[in-house]
Amino acid sequence: MIHFQGKYRAHGKGGSFAGRSHRFSADGDITALHNSRRKMVVVFIMACMAVLVGRAVDLQVLNKQFLKDQGDMRHVSDVSVSAYRGMIKDRNGAPLAISTPVESIWMNPQELDLAKKDEIRQVEKLLNLSKGKVAELVKGDAHRQFAYIARQISPVVAEQVKALKLTGIYFEREFKRFYPAGEVSAHLVGFTDIDDVGQAGLESGYERSLKGIPGSKRVIRDGQRRIIEDVENIKEPVAGKNLELSIDQRIQYLAYRELQLAVNQHKAKSAALVVLDAKSGEILAAVNQPSFNPNTRKSLKEALYRNRSITDVFEPGSTVKPFVVAAALDGGYVSPNEVFETHGFYQVGSHVVKDVHNYGALDLTGVLKKSSNVAVSQMALRMPPEYFWGIYNKLGFGVAAGSGFPGEASGSMLDYQSWREFDRATLSFGYGVSTSALQLARAYTALADDGILHSVSLLRRDEDVDGQRVFTAKTAKRVRAMMETVLMKDGTAYEGRVDGYSAAGKTGTVKKAGVGGYIEKSYFSVFAGMAPANNPRLIVVVMVDEPSAGQYYGGIVSAPVFSKVMAGALRMLEVAPDQQDNMPILLTRQGS
């Protein structure tokens, strides 16, 4: 019994001790694990804190300028300030192109709330947009932060849109070009695009001086990128330079009106007219038909923008005959009193030169008065090719007139080394050479200013310092007197006489060239003249392309335009009339 109890106790005691010992061991392992985890968390937290502290020190102490720059980039920015585009004025200061302040409206598609349908529809009505246009723009540019809603609207309308206070809609100041003369001077002045950059005419040709230099300023924007304050002007904009033209807008309007009437009356395809100052070479008018309005030019074809008077060429026909007579006189190839037997035709190699009628015997005055192809062909064939070509070249044929207008035509003329006899003959009555209306008007200065050929200018100037002598003064005066008879009763341009003034000129009726040769019943009707004849102040060249109402002779179609424009222009310039009654004086001269 004792043995049993002892054994039991021992066993029990031992068993109890062993169990405790196992429990103590398990508790110790758990405690150690918890301690280990706690240390890891503490170490991780301390490491994160150390990184944050290090980053804070880096940004706020070592590289604090970075944060400042980033903040400035988001709230302070530089914006461009548009420069005022220079005005274009006529010689008397009348505005032909001016810039007016306007507003452009743009939006941030990501900010605009399309749920505000009433306000958005009101914006569309104010801007003459179709219903739903704004929503369409938002969907089309949803990934962007900028899209124009309307460009160049009046400040009054812009204020009405601003009053709606729609989030996401912003305003930008711009300048819009306005042309007070409209279609009257459209081809000459040209126009700018929506960004105020010259696209045609003088707007394009003088873009660099007209556009000015944009400025810049620093502004503060709010969180929605709206400008809330100007900080400083960085650079002031420099306004473009004004352009003062040689054009007299009064004469320009007169020429435009008369040319338009002629085109409508004769159902012509197009027309061009140039008025030139005979003493200075200044271009006082350059008009074309058809025209366009540069203020509302949408859906117009590019061909309408072309300034035909300066950029288009044609064969001048008989308007060059006075130059042939002058060249032959100056070169001694004809005598002042010489008479030519015309017979109505003239054989040149295998070709025949013809006149409209058989004029019989003609002196030099009669050659121009009746416009004889036969007689001038005989003169041309007497002159050496190099000499003949040299006179045409000095007169500016085949060479740009140098007005500075974009796309100015040079015309064309074959080199004399390749001329055949028939080429020389046809050149004497204006075939085989091409010229613009401006080039032809310039060539006439050599007759109008006593033999001096003037350069031309679209900018106002007091005198031409580049004049060059082509003919002697005596010859120029003699040929002018011959040209006066062209406007007599039995001349080719009786309809071109100028009320109150003596005038001299020459007609030209030219078949148009086409594929494979000249086109039947398709003509250029041309007249070139000057007045007063004894001391010319103005030169006017009129070219009407394809008159189709029945009449096509230069003396019937173009000469009347010359008459009206010349008479009106001389009076505008206060040139004193030199004749009270044209007819008796002209008839007296004819019989002398």
Q: What is the pLDDT of residue 218?
A: 73
Enter the DSSP assignment of 115: T
Question: Mean pLDDT across the stretch 467-487?
Answer: 97
Q: pLDDT (tens digit, 9 = 90+) per residue, 76-112?
A: 666 677 788 999 999 999 999 999 888 888 777 777 7
* Structural domain includes residue 6: no
Q: pLDDT (tens digit, 9 = 90+) per residue, 387-417?
A: 999 999 999 999 999 999 999 999 999 899 9
> In terms of domains, do 334 and 375 share one?
yes
Confidence of residue 436 (pLDDT cuts 50, 70, 90): very high
Percent of the chain with pLDDT over 70: 85
Q: Output phi, psi for 99, to 5 deg.
A: -110, 135
Compute the distance between CA of residue 558 and CA of residue 565 in angstroms, rounded to an integer. Answer: 11
> In terms of domains, do 348 and 446 share one?
yes
pLDDT at 505 over 80: yes
Q: What is the pLDDT of residue 11?
A: 46
Question: Mean pLDDT across the stretch 58-67?
Answer: 67
Compute the distance between CA of residue 489 and CA of residue 529 in angstroms, rounded to an integer. Answer: 17
Sheet holding 227-235, edge to edge: 76-81, 215-221, 227-235
User: In Å, how far are 6, 95, 186, 198 from 203, measured between CA atoms?
Assistant: 127, 14, 10, 5
202 or 12, which is more confident: 202
> In terms of domains, do 401 and 520 share one?
yes
> In terms of domains, do 208 and 353 share one?
no
First to last CA, the chain: 185
* Structural domain includes residue 297: no
Q: What is the pLDDT of residue 579?
A: 85
> In terms of domains, do 191 and 253 share one?
no
pLDDT at 525 over 60: yes
* Structural domain includes residue 180: yes
Arithmetic mean of pLDDT over the chain: 86
Compute the distance between CA of residue 318 and CA of residue 333 in angstroms, rounded to an integer. Answer: 20
Q: What is the pLDDT of residue 59?
A: 66
Confidence of residue 74 (pLDDT cuts 50, 70, 90): low
> In terms of domains, do 170 and 275 share one?
no
Question: Mean pLDDT across the stretch 526-551?
Answer: 97
32 or 142, which is more confident: 32
The 3 state secondary structure assigned to 282-303 is: EEEEEEEECCCCCCCCCCCCHH
Q: Per the omega criterion (within 30 degrees of 0), is the bond before 95 cis?
A: no
Question: Mean pLDDT across the stretch 471-492?
Answer: 96
Question: Mean pLDDT across the stretch 173-191?
Answer: 93
Q: Output phi, psi for 219, to 5 deg.
A: -130, 165
Compute the distance between CA of residue 103 and CA of residue 112 in angstroms, rounded to an integer. Answer: 19
**Residue 471, C-beta contacts closer than 8 angstroms, at least 6 positions apart:** 326, 327, 330, 446, 447, 451, 479
Confidence of residue 251 (pLDDT cuts 50, 70, 90): very high
* Structural domain includes residue 51: no
* Structural domain includes residue 301: no
> In terms of domains, do 238 and 272 share one?
no
> In terms of domains, do 146 and 260 share one?
no
DSSP 514-577: ETTEEEEEEEEEEEEEEESTTS--EEEEEEEE---SS---HHHHTHHHHHHHHHHHHHHTTPPP
Compute the distance between CA of residue 271 and CA of residue 561 in angstroms, rounded to an integer. Answer: 11
Choose the catalytic residue: 246, 291, 318, 457: 318
Residues 492, 483: contact at Cβ < 8 Å? Answer: no
Confidence of residue 327 (pLDDT cuts 50, 70, 90): very high
> In terms of domains, do 212 and 82 share one?
yes
Residue 563: which CATH number? Answer: 3.40.710.10
Q: By CB neighbour count within 10 A (0-12 exposed, 13-18 middle, 19+ buried), where does 342 fall?
A: buried
Question: Mean pLDDT across the stretch 321-337?
Answer: 97
> In terms of domains, do 331 and 186 share one?
no
> In terms of domains, do 340 and 446 share one?
yes
Q: pLDDT (tens digit, 9 = 90+) per residue, 144-177?
A: 777 787 887 888 888 888 888 777 787 877 788 9
- Mapped onto helix, strand or coil, the DSSP state of residue 249 is helix
* Structural domain includes residue 273: yes
Closest by alpha carbon to 329, among 534, 533, 471, 483? Answer: 471
Domain that residue 181 falls in: 77-244
pLDDT at 547 over 80: yes
pTM of the model: 0.80
pLDDT at 22 over 70: no
Q: What is the pLDDT of residue 70?
A: 58
197 or 19, which is more confident: 197
Confidence of residue 591 (pLDDT cuts 50, 70, 90): very low
Q: What is the pLDDT of residue 319?
A: 98
Cα 499 versus chain centre, distance: 36
Compute the distance between CA of residue 370 and CA of residue 382 in angstroms, rounded to an integer. Answer: 21
Weakest mean pLDDT among 22-31, 165-174, 406-415, 506-515:
22-31
* Structural domain includes residue 184: yes
Q: What is the pLDDT of residue 17?
A: 47
* Structural domain includes residue 30: no
Residue 199: which CATH number? Answer: 3.90.1310.10
> In terms of domains, do 442 and 582 share one?
yes
The 3 state secondary structure assigned to 485-506 is: HHHCCCCCCHHHCECCECCEEE
Pairing relation of β-strands 243-244 and 88-89? parallel
Residues 505, 483: contact at Cβ < 8 Å? Answer: yes
Confidence of residue 225 (pLDDT cuts 50, 70, 90): low
Q: Is 403 a catalytic residue?
A: no
Residues 436, 283: contact at Cβ < 8 Å? Answer: no
Residues 314, 501: contact at Cβ < 8 Å? Answer: no
Task: Give the count of domains, the chain.
Answer: 2
Q: Output phi, psi for 510, to 5 deg.
A: -120, 125
Percent of the chain with pLDDT over 90: 61
pLDDT at 25 over 70: no
